[in-house]
Amino acid sequence: VFMLIFALFGCSSSTEQTATTEKKITVVTDAAFAPFEYMDKGEIVGFDVDLLKAVMKEAGLAYELKNIGWDPLFAAIQGKTADMAVSGITINDDRKQTYDFSIPYFESTHMILVKEGSSIKSAKDLQGKVVGVQNGTTGQEAVEKILGKENKNIKKFENTVVAIMDLLNGGVEAVVTDNAVANEYVKNNPDAKIVAFEDPEHFESEFYGFMFPKGSELKQKVDEALKKVIENGTYAEIYKKWFGT
Ligand code: ARG
């Protein structure tokens, strides 16, 4: 009888424990940013998605990844309806006032996408041209620095995919986006006749981080796990899978 009671007790208490420790963490993203996060056959995939998986496994945390879009993602973190955002998000001073960030995990810069044969050969050539950016990104800021903040020629799109579509359709003459995303588009769409180029004179290097609500307790756990994933070679494996080197 004692053994039975013990077993029952042990059982129920351990279930309770799992129930509390397994509270799923809500992670949000804008899955229109290949190769970092994009939809493939109804699933969110990409470099960020694999890295997130490895980090959460290392940290022993259960999570759910939701594709809610770029602008809503910031609102969700600020309003604390989500615990974490993973979306190729650049760490910068402006955002640091409102959000917390993990340690950096990826270096990036901007690139200009144009149609083959375009007269735009450098960032300076964007002067007087209609330029597409994803709204609220560092790409938008980079273009504003060149063309001026209130410039009506800067066309802001909800996501990077629709910005590039508009370039194909002739609505904009250039799109400025993150270099890995620009390169991925060119590589995957050889028939689109789109070229991408850098302009180190105008575009600075920046770093991606996972984003949290200010004061989040999750940050430290994620940072520790991210460090391990970088040190133990898992990061390099994921990098190789998506970038080939
Ligand atoms: N790195 C840029 C930024 O933080 C663009 C990120 C856009 N990411 C996305 N999943 N759409 O502003």
In the prediction, which pLDDT does 22 show?
64
What confidence category does residue 6 fall into, taking pLDDT thresholds of 50, 70 and 90? very low
In the prediction, which pLDDT does 21 show?
54
Is the distance from the beta carbon of residue 140 to the nearest atom of ligand 1 less than 6 Å?
no
Is the distance from the beta carbon of residue 137 to the nearest atom of ligand 1 less than 6 Å?
yes
87 alpha carbon – ligand 1 mean position (Å): 6
Strands 43-45 and 37-40: antiparallel
Residue type, 84: M
pLDDT tens, position by position, 162-215 = 999 999 999 999 999 999 999 999 999 999 999 999 999 999 999 999 999 999
What confidence category does residue 38 fall into, taking pLDDT thresholds of 50, 70 and 90? very high
Tell me the chain's radius of gyration from C-alpha atoms: 21
Strands 131-134 and 174-178: parallel
**What domains are there in the chain, each with its CATH number?**
23-107+207-243 (3.40.190.10), 110-204 (3.40.190.10)
In the prediction, which pLDDT does 19 show?
46
208 alpha carbon – ligand 1 mean position (Å): 9
What confidence category does residue 9 fall into, taking pLDDT thresholds of 50, 70 and 90? very low
What is the rounded CA–CA span in Å between residue 58 and residue 220?
13
139 alpha carbon – ligand 1 mean position (Å): 8
220 alpha carbon – ligand 1 mean position (Å): 23
In the prediction, which pLDDT does 23 show?
84
Is the distance from the beta carbon of residue 70 to the nearest atom of ligand 1 less than 6 Å?
yes
pLDDT tens, position by position, 78-119 = 999 999 999 999 999 999 999 999 999 999 999 999 999 999
27 near 65, Cβ under 8 Å? yes
What confidence category does residue 245 fall into, taking pLDDT thresholds of 50, 70 and 90? confident
Helix (H, G, I), strand (E, B) or coil at 29: strand
Quickly tell me which residue has 């109804």 as its tokens: 42
Which residues contact residue 195 at a Cβ distance below 8 angstroms, ignoring those fewer than 6 apart? 113, 114, 115, 116, 118, 186
